[in-house]
Amino acid sequence: MPTEVYVAGVGMTKFGKSDLSLPHLMVEAASRAILDARVSTIDYVFIGVMSVEEFTGESNFAALITDRLGLPGIPSSRVETASSTGSAVFESAFYAVASGYHRNVLIIAGEKMTHLPTAQTTRILAEVIDRGERKYGASMPSLAAMITRRYQHDAQLSDDRLQSILSKLAIKNHYNGSLNPYAQFRKIITGDDYFGSRYISTPLRTYDCAPITDGAVAVVLTLDKKSIRVTGLGHATDTLAVRHRDSLTSFKSTRLAAWQAYNMAKLSPKDISFAEVHDAFTPFEIIGTEDLGFFPHGEGWKAVEEGVTSIKGRLPINPSGGLKARGHPVGASGLAQIVEVAQQLRGDMEPNRQIPGARIGLTQNIGGLANNNLVTILERTDRYRPIPVYWKPNYDPGDINPRPVPEEPSSVDSGILETYTTLYTTPEGIPSPLTLGFLSIPDGRVIMARSRHENLKIGQAVKVEKEGDLFYLQPSPPPEKGSEGAKKWLHRALSPTERKEENP
């Protein structure tokens, strides 16, 4: 029988642009959580922060925060997994309590980002990206945009329908944020606002991307029985390079983490009352709800259209406003998701945003471009417990097999365009706009390439040339109709449904 771990207290600062220092924000969040927890001792302080050295020029941050808390002496460690740091630090703190060596553990996660120029912040955030993709000027929004375009293609959504779905997501999460006093954006937005916003990286607009945010969050975990218990934890990695993945439209790291969390909790997706899903980019909320087993793959967008995931819907997603509207201090977002879930479960919310009868909540937090993801499940301890299940996922959770990283090819003549984007907000030192694509090459590998043409189409044949250490693509005439090459290439360009129709 494993040791049970409970949430004793939670606290956070308002998210947004702040003139306060990161230590100040973190002490504020911690003070609230300690007061809320009503514990008289803290045995360990876990600190979650992603890029504090680069954002603020401080290292040795665990000792610094413990000192600023007026608690020098207490042991303290910093945990980091890029943008899933908030959940990862919660996980390590959970183990410290579950091991029986610490009774009350304080977790504080935060980030200070708004004080730097956007291009510099974009460059720092882009350090999470595989070097082979980063050297092309790829940023987080551009990789997310390429994933979105492939999702659109596979789900056979027209441009207008995709934009309509994404706008509904942005409007939903901004609405939820308008109700959340801790959210960075508390304004309702309309379709006109959405369609009037500029492209960051096609097809993603400003309102599809989580903002740059300052903020801090804290949680106290304890061995003593409290109203909220941590029942599920899952954590999995994936290849650093997006181009080396099995799928561009589903994240194996979420699927594996969800499977672990459900099985630790002995729950299935249908037991979840509501969830906080990592919407650093609006389409990631759709992919997340599919990977978590809430909806079939390629169909999560229907739930958005039908309002299923609205705060008054059957399965509210991101009642907090999500990363989109609550804001995204990168190292803190995962812990903010956990705080939202704990407060909803405790019934702490104002009536206009309280999810009635919520019994079990889930968070999904993405690290990097979905290569270090965590899923966390919290439950009320005073409510009916579902019959324990061993959940068999309705998808392949993916395998963990040692396998070599594919070598980068030294020269490439031609390929098929798997997906592409035009990036307008480029990292420091890269001219804008920048068109990037992923190409399948004849031996089955996938490479990244730049393009001087913006007018591209998934599935089209392209010629490839190398300039320096970068590949450049340009559209080429398709292979002769009816040839083997044409058949193979045509097949790759089909969406999954079209492929099924091709081979019934």
- Return the residues of window 30-89 that contact a second copy according to CB under 8 A: 44, 50-51, 53-54, 57-64, 66-82, 88
Q: Which is nearer to a second copy, 41 or 455 (CB)?
A: 41
Binding mask 391-430 for a second copy (x = CB under 8 A): -------xxxxxxxx-------------------------
Give the 3-state secondary structure of 2-38. Answer: CCCCEEEEEEECCCECCCCCHHHHHHHHHHHHHHHHC
Instruction: Output the smallest distance, CB 137 to a second copy, in A.
Output: 15
- Can you tell me the distance from the alpha carbon of 308 to that of 328, in angstroms, rounded to the nearest whole number? 24
Q: Which is nearer to a second copy, 188 or 405 (CB)?
A: 405
Instruction: Output the smallest distance, CB 315 to a second copy, in A.
Output: 26
Instruction: Output the smallest distance, CB 216 to a second copy, in A.
Output: 18
Size, binding site for a second copy by CB under 8 A:
74
- Can you tell me the distance from the alpha carbon of 301 to that of 304, in angstroms, rounded to the nearest whole number? 5
Q: Which is nearer to a second copy, 171 or 217 (CB)?
A: 217
- Residue type at position 117: P
Q: Which of residues 257-296 bind a second copy (CB under 8 A)?
A: 257, 264
Binding mask 204-233 for a second copy (x = CB under 8 A): -----------------------------x
Q: Which is nearer to a second copy, 75 or 496 (CB)?
A: 75
Using CB atoms within 10 Å of the CB of residue 192, give its burial: 0 to 12 exposed, 13 to 18 middle, 19+ buried: exposed
Q: Which is nearer to a second copy, 158 or 401 (CB)?
A: 401
Instruction: Output the smallest distance, CB 491 to a second copy, in A.
Output: 27
Q: Which is nearer to a second copy, 100 or 357 (CB)?
A: 100
By CB under 8 A, name the one of 2, 351, 356, 482 that touches a second copy: 2
* Contact in structure between 42 and 74 (CB atoms under 8 Å): yes
Instruction: Output the smallest distance, CB 388 to a second copy, in A.
Output: 17
Q: Which is nearer to a second copy, 29 or 96 (CB)?
A: 96
124 binding a second copy? (CB under 8 A): yes
* Structure tokens belonging to residue 3: 């040791």
Distance between the two ends of the chain, CA-based, in angstroms? 49
Q: Which is nearer to a second copy, 159 or 396 (CB)?
A: 396
The secondary structure element, H or E, covering residue 390 is none
By CB under 8 A, name the one of 7, 12, 25, 96 that touches a second copy: 96
368 binding a second copy? (CB under 8 A): yes
Residues facing 465 on adjacent strands: 472
Instruction: Output the smallest distance, CB 113 to a second copy, in A.
Output: 13
By CB under 8 A, name the one of 120, 237, 247, 354 that touches a second copy: 237
Q: Which of residues 98-117 bind a second copy (CB under 8 A)?
A: 98-101
Strand residues in 197-323 grouped as ranges (E):
199-201, 204-205, 215-222, 228-237, 274-277
CB atoms within 10 A of CB 240: 17
Contacts by 493-502, CB closer than 8 A, 24 or more apart? 493/416, 493/458, 493/459, 493/460, 494/459, 495/153, 495/154, 495/155, 495/156, 496/154, 496/298, 497/156, 498/156
Q: Residue 329's closest CA among 94, 11, 25? A: 25
- Can you tell me the distance from the alpha carbon of 54 to that of 423, in angstroms, rounded to the nearest whole number? 24
Q: Which 3 state secondary structure label does DSSP give 220?
A: strand
What residue has token string 């590998």? 445
Q: Which is nearer to a second copy, 128 or 335 (CB)?
A: 128
Instruction: Output the smallest distance, CB 92 to a second copy, in A.
Output: 5
What residue has token string 């375009």? 149
Virtual torsion, Cα 20, 24, 25, 30, nearest 10 deg: -160
Cα 21 to its chain centre, rounded Å, is 25
Specify the DSSP class assigned to residue 292: T
Instruction: Output the smallest distance, CB 328 to a second copy, in A.
Output: 16
- Can you tell me the distance from the alpha carbon of 78 to that of 58, in angstroms, rounded to the nearest whole number? 13
Binding mask 309-348 for a second copy (x = CB under 8 A): ----------------------------------------
Q: Which is nearer to a second copy, 128 or 311 (CB)?
A: 128
By CB under 8 A, name the one of 31, 127, 296, 307 that touches a second copy: 127
Q: Which is nearer to a second copy, 52 or 183 (CB)?
A: 52
Q: Residue 282's closest CA among 311, 248, 323? A: 323
119 binding a second copy? (CB under 8 A): no
What residue has token string 């441009």? 159
By CB under 8 A, name the one of 172, 174, 243, 252 that touches a second copy: 252
Instruction: Output the smallest distance, CB 291 to a second copy, in A.
Output: 14
- Mark 19-37 as b/e (b = at least 16 C-beta within 10 Å): eeebbebbbbbbebbbebb
By CB under 8 A, name the one of 154, 208, 238, 379 that touches a second copy: 238
Q: Which is nearer to a second copy, 36 or 355 (CB)?
A: 36
Instruction: Output the smallest distance, CB 160 to a second copy, in A.
Output: 35
Stretch that binds a second copy, among 123-131, 268-276, 288-296, 357-365 (CB under 8 A): 123-131
Q: Which of residues 129-148 bind a second copy (CB under 8 A)?
A: 129-131
